[in-house]
Every structure is written in C-alpha cells, then in structure tokens.
Chains A and B, each alone.
Chain A
Amino acid sequence: MDFEPSWGLTMMADSDKTGTDGMPPLESQIRALVDAVVEDSGPPLGADEAMMRSGLGPECRVSKRERGGSARWLVAAAAALILIAITSVTILVARGTDSGRVATTSAPQSGFDAWGPGWHQIDRSSLPPMAVASIAWFQGRLIVVGGSLNVDRQGDWREEAWAYRPETKTWSEIPGPGLAGVSLVVAGDRLVAVGTKDISIDKPNHVSQLNRWATWAGGDADWVHQDVMPENPDIGRLGPTAIAADRGKYLVWTGDALLDFTSGTVLYPETGKMGLIELPRGVLTYSYLSVTTPVWTGSEVVWPARGISTDAIGLKWTADGTGVGEIPAPPPEGVERLMSDGSDRSVVFSKDGRVVVMTVGPYVASFDPRDDSWISIDGSDRLAAPTCFDGGVTSGGDVVLVPCEASADGVVPFIWRDGDWFDTEVLPGGAERVSHMISRRAGSALVIWSLRSGSPDVDPVDFAAVWVPRASARLSPAVRHNRSQSESQSFTTTAPAGLESPTGVTTTSIAGDPSLPTSLKLGTADCTAALEKLPDLGPWLPANLDVGPTPGTGGAPNIPTCARSWGAGNAPAVHATQSPGQSIFGGERLGRAGDYTWSSIEDGWKIEHSGTNPWNVNLYGVTQAQVADLARSLAKL
C-alpha cells in the first residue's frame, strides 16, 4: 500500500475536522482501501493474455464463466498457450519453407470493421431487383439469396444468390440453393436455406412442396438439398407462415437443431435429419404469438406473448423442440397493448439467459426461464422511443430500432448492444424510412437490408447499410432525432391541464362493440372537427407556445393526419400536438365510448391524453440522461 500516515496526518491538520480514532480523512481511507483491493487483484495482466483470451473466442470465455472458478481458466489458458507456442513453431517452419498459409487464430479487424465507425451504404445497384431476399454473414461475406417471379418467362422463379466482400466492395454471384422465398440461417459451420419450391405465377395461391431446405458449407462446395420438410399442419395456428416477409425471425438455431416455427419442423443441418416441433393442445388459442418471435436463451426456446386476453401466456420448448410448456404472461402494463398491435412494434431477444421483450413506449420486460419470473421496466417516463419501429434481432443479441419518424436530417436508428444504447447517425443515402427490413450481425458490424414493401413512398427501394460501432462513447452529446432537451427541461406530470375536448372527438373513432377493445384505424377521424388551441399546457412549456394551429401538419411523416401542431417560435424541439381521435402512431385501444387513450411523439415531447374531460395531459421531455438511465436499467436485467 502506498498510504503514508504522515501524509494523512497532514491532511487532517488541514481539515476542518478529523476522522474518528485518529484515522486519516475519509478520502485517504478510500484510497488506502482501494490500494489493498488492487494489491489482491494479482499481478499485472499482459498483452499476451489479452490476445490469447481474444483468440479463444467469446464462447470459451462464457463457458469458463459457467463453469466458474479461475483454476479451470488457468488450465485452459495454459493449454491455449501451449497450443499457440506449438503452432508458432509450426508457422516459423512454414514460413521458412514458404509452404503457404495456415489457419488463422485472431485478427483485430475483419469484414466491415475496416470501413470505420458509423453507417455506410452498401451499394446494391449492381444486383438485380429481388422481390424477396434474405441475408447472412457467412465466412466473411455477406450472403444474399432472394429472387422474384420472372414475368417474361411465364412466371418462373428467378433465383438470385450473391456474395459481397467488404474488402473489395464487390458483389459476386454464387451458387444458389435452388429454392424460392429463402430465409438464411447460419447454423454452426453451415449456412442453411429454408424456402419453398415451385411457385408459379399462374397459380398464385398454390405453392407446392412448400417447405424445402438445403445446406451449404461455403467455398466451392455445392448446396446439399435435403429431403422435403415434414409439416405440422397445426403450426399455422400460431400465426407466422412460410411466406412471412422475414421468415428468418421464426427460425431458431439452438446450437444443435434448427427449429422452424413456420413449418413446425426441427432440422439437423449436420445430418439432414428432421422431426416435428411439439405443439401444445389447443394450439389455436395461441394465435397471438405471432406478434412476437421465439428466441433461444441458451437452454430453451422461449416465445413470450401477451395477447388481448389478460391471462394469455407464452410457450417454451426444449432445444430439440420435443418438449413444450407454458410460461406466464408478461406484466400487463405496457406490453399488452403493444404486443397486440403487431410484430413491427415489438422485438424479442435473449440476454444472459433471459428473454427481453421491448415494445414501443418504450416498455421493457425481462423473463427469467429459471424461475418463470418477469421483471418489467416502464421506460415511458425516461425515454420517448420511436412510436413505431421495425426491429431486427441478430444472433449476437443486437437490436436495431429504425424509427418510423424521421428527424429533419433523416432516419436515425437506435441500436442496443451489450447493455448500451447506441444513438447512431443518420442513415446514408437519404433514406427517409426503412420500415420493411431485416438485419443481421456481420462480425462486429450490423447490416440492415430493406425488403420491398410495395410502396416506394414508404421505403427506399433496394437499400442496404452497415453500421460499424463507434469507438467512442455510446450516445453522442449531440443527441439526434430531436432528443436534445436539457435535463432541466425534463418533467413528467399527470396533472390536469384544463384542456377542452375538441368537438366530436369521443365518437369519431369508435366502432364495433363498445365493450370490446377495438383498434383505432386510420382514416376514421373527422378532420373537419373543430380543434381548439390548447389553452394551457401548464407551466411546463414556454410562454411563447402560441404558433398554430396549423391544420394538416404534425403526426408521423408520410401519414395523413388531421393533427394540429403548436410550436414555440423557432424551437422545433418544443411542440405540442392535438389530434382528435386519430390513430396516429401511438394510438392505443379503445375501451368504450368516451374512454380512450392516444398519444403522439412530436419532436421529443410526448403528449398523452386519456379519459374524458378534462383531459389529463402527460408531457414527457426526453433527455440524453434519460436514455442512458434506461440503458442502465436494461443492463441490470
């Protein structure tokens, strides 16, 4: 320890008061304590150990943790050291004889990393258009397999299979699996393509031999076509189908078997064997599962869900899909309303054996399969997440959220990785919105790939981008997406603001049985209904919030609404919107006449009205600190 009593005594003499029992000042005590701790942390770590540990790969490190204890780690490290030493000798010999290359141990960079941090557009212009496509990062290349119906050739399916090399930024054609509607999954050392066969434009509703699969070892190997997949006829009751836009979301690799929840089949890529996923009795009652996705936790496959019914439950399977069981539903608050609203508004991923469900709001709930317990985090008071997003979950546990709302500069995706939010930059290429996409991890990078939505007004056609993590801290000081409120401006309140209900609001959007929840629909609002200027938003907004109303503006971009907006001069970060019964994004469920909730996020402020007059107004300021706070909460799950 480097603490010297005399120094401490001097410090005490200069202090207002001393510690007890002749102890030095508290700050010095802390340093002495830390000295003791550090002394016990062992000898310095060297670069060799770091490089060796890196070379072992994360799986080895995880296994080591699971086994526990440092002794086995030392054994493994020693073994690795011996191996490296032996191999190094081999290399030197090989170099001496110029006998060519041998296997790689580790490299600090690979793939897209060399492109530098941030978003980069991947040029797809040399690729033929594909109506559907799937991507995978396999053996250092971005593999794309897709295709489209070739109308000029009597409706034949035209398959496309390409590989992209980040090093040269070039595409090259590769052999395809000979299937249509392919979804790719990396399963161990093989690339698996699950698709269909014999789609004909002449029989648009007829798809024969629906489920086929093939495996590929890469390189010069040919695709190995496996037998026709057996189908579990009841699997369709769960919702997703083999022609889902991203069928890959329902393909779960457990390390040994590949569970296809669109066909109900268990695939073993190594042997080509197949089986059926066991389904629960009365599978029809689980149709609400389709709004989320199944995920592998490391020990079992969990498909969390909460449907319209408050007692709806989720399901779980063993790694080979033979055992099925139920899990309790997530806590009702937040999740129920969102998980009943569509899979593009929720993402499911696995973290440290837990299952995390994230929905807009944001609402985050974490399930621990070991004790069937849920933990929920209501982040709505901390982070005004995009009111709608499309999510992709990679094998590495990343989550990319591309908001449907664009900032003035463009779309700014959020990425959650390793317990931290990454507020990324504006997507390149002028992309205004990417709502139909798939994403996959590519080494340490993340690729998003747009799928055709059928509406060029909604999505950029043939868009692809790769995000390379920044070396610097996560959320940049210049928070994007209009999330730049200072902490002093943040608040959350449910205090009545004395608002008057606009004329006709309580009736324009109500349809169906008033006793049943009914989703709000676009186009049901009466845009001619009189809107009233918000007379008083309380003390929270600037006094000059008096610009407006401006009919026809506000709400989500590209969505016609009759929202009115008010702004505070030239401060775009302070907006309030008022929309009469309109289902802009954030519109929730109707309970019965006069009892409804809707919300919108406008430039960082969330304004939520609920109930009858006077409306309660919830205003959410959004700050970087709040984002970080939520991220920390996630990290503790």
Chain B
Amino acid sequence: MYVMGLSGKETELQSVSAQEFSAFVGLVESRLRRALAATWGPEVGREATAEALAWAWENWTSVQSMENAAGYLYRVGASRVRPRRKPIEDYRRLLTGTDDGAKFDPDQRHFEPGLADALTHLSDRQRTVVVLVHGCGWTHQEVADALELSRSSVATHLDRALDGLRAELGVDHDG
C-alpha cells in the first residue's frame, strides 16, 4: 500500500509498515473481535473492533512496542463504544430466542436459555471479566492488564459473576 504525499523512500517505508500492520491485524483481529463482541454484543463489538484497529494504524509505531497490544486495543475499542452505551440488546435478542430475529434454535443451544439475559443483569465489570475469562480464554493477568485491575480483583469479579449467574439461573455450583 502506498501512502500519498511522501517521497519515494518514505513511501517504501510506509509500504513496509502497512505490510506489518496487515500481519498484525491477522494475528489479533479474531481475539480482539471475540472479546469485544462478547462484551458488547456482535454489532457493537464489530464496530469497536474496527475502531480499535483504526486507532492501531494511526498509532502503529506505538502499538508495535506494546507487550499486550490486543489487551490495550480491547480498551481502545471499549472506550470508543462506551459513549453510545448501547446495551447488549442485540446480544440478548440474538441468543434468548424470544425475538423473531433470533438466529439460534433454542433447542440447539448448549447453554441455559436464560444465560444471555442473566449476563446482561451482571454489572459491566462482572460481565466483562466473566466473558473474557470463560468466553475468550483470557488469563486472569491478561484481563487484569486490560481492565487495570489487580489479579485478585479479577478473581473477585469472576467469582461474583459466576455466583450471580448461578443464582439467577437456579443452578448449583458446577465447578
């Protein structure tokens, strides 16, 4: 990819950057979109991912030096969609099967019918932690870094989230 307004040498360097950025997107996009979609729902999550990746390109040199770029970009994406504060209604609508737009047959799901609703009843922080850990496979440390929490706080939020879900779903500890 060539960038306009630059000399030949500069353009060549930008081309290299673009190639490196493309490789980077290939590595982090799936993980990032999964985390953001899990937290905010598919539509907002996709938008947040696109915003985060655009930010990454705008700050590509800085991003290259990050140890956990995906974690940082998660926060960038989350901060970009927060102002809209669109509740994860599409998340609920998609999964609860109570809406005409539901794409999943309730009989084919491998989760409790009320799980999506129960997740929406958690605090933002609890929901974020539980979906990142159990929905996305992030380690406690990765979540702690991304959310600026201590590992112990992550564990606490996680425990409370699971307790809340179990209480709302009426299931015993299955752990």
Chain A contact residue count (CB 8 A cutoff): 78
Contact with B along A26-48 (1 / 0, CB 8 A): 11111111101110111011111
* Chain B residue contacts of A101, Cβ below 8 A: 4-7
In whole angstroms, what is the CA distance A318 to B47 when docked?
Answer: 32
Identify which of A15, A50, A418 contacts B56 (C-beta below 8 A): A50
- B63 near A31 with CB under 8 A, answer no
In whole angstroms, what is the CA distance A455 to B132 when docked?
Answer: 54
Identify which of A21, A25, A34, A419 contacts B174 (C-beta below 8 A): A25
- A26 near B5 with CB under 8 A, answer no
In whole angstroms, what is the CA distance A87 to B34 when docked?
Answer: 34
Identify which of B21, B57, B82 contacts A636 (C-beta below 8 A): B82
- A104 near B4 with CB under 8 A, answer yes
Q: In the complex, which residue of chain B has the Cβ closest to the Cβ of A109?
A: B61
- A107 near B14 with CB under 8 A, answer yes
The answer to whether A418 and B79 touch (CB under 8 A), given A47-B22, A50-B56, A106-B57, is: yes
* Chain B residue contacts of A117, Cβ below 8 A: 62
Q: Which among A27, A61, A91, A113 has the greatest number of chain B C-beta atoms within 10 A? A: A27
- A40 near B94 with CB under 8 A, answer yes
Interface-located stretch among A369-377, A399-407, A470-478: A470-478
Identify which of B55, B135, B145 contacts A34 (C-beta below 8 A): B135
Identify which of A32, A70, A103 contacts B43 (C-beta below 8 A): A70
Interface-located stretch among A1-9, A188-196, A283-291: A1-9
Interface residue B103 (Cβ < 8 Å from any Cβ of A): yes
- B72 near A27 with CB under 8 A, answer no
CB distance from B89 to the nearest CB of A (A): 13
Q: In the complex, which residue of chain A has the Cβ closest to the Cβ of B26?
A: A47
Contact with A along B160-175 (1 / 0, CB 8 A): 0010011001111111
Interface residue B148 (Cβ < 8 Å from any Cβ of A): yes
The answer to whether A40 and B103 touch (CB under 8 A), given A29-B115, A50-B56, is: yes
Interface residue B139 (Cβ < 8 Å from any Cβ of A): no
* Chain B residue contacts of A53, Cβ below 8 A: 50-51, 53-54
- B62 near A471 with CB under 8 A, answer yes
Report, nearest first, the 3 A-B pairs whose CB atoms are least far apart.
Answer: A34-B135, A104-B5, A50-B53
Q: Which chain B residues have a beta carbon within 8 Å of chain A's beta carbons?
A: 1-8, 11, 14, 17-18, 21-22, 24-26, 29-30, 33-34, 37-38, 41-43, 45-47, 49-51, 53-63, 65-67, 72, 75, 79, 82-85, 91, 94-95, 103-104, 109-112, 115-116, 119, 130-131, 134-137, 145, 148-150, 153, 162, 165-166, 169-175
* 19 pairs from A and B in contact (CB 8 Å cutoff): A17-B172, A17-B174, A17-B175, A26-B162, A26-B169, A30-B131, A33-B116, A34-B38, A34-B131, A41-B33, A41-B37, A45-B49, A50-B25, A51-B18, A70-B43, A113-B61, A444-B58, A471-B63, A474-B148
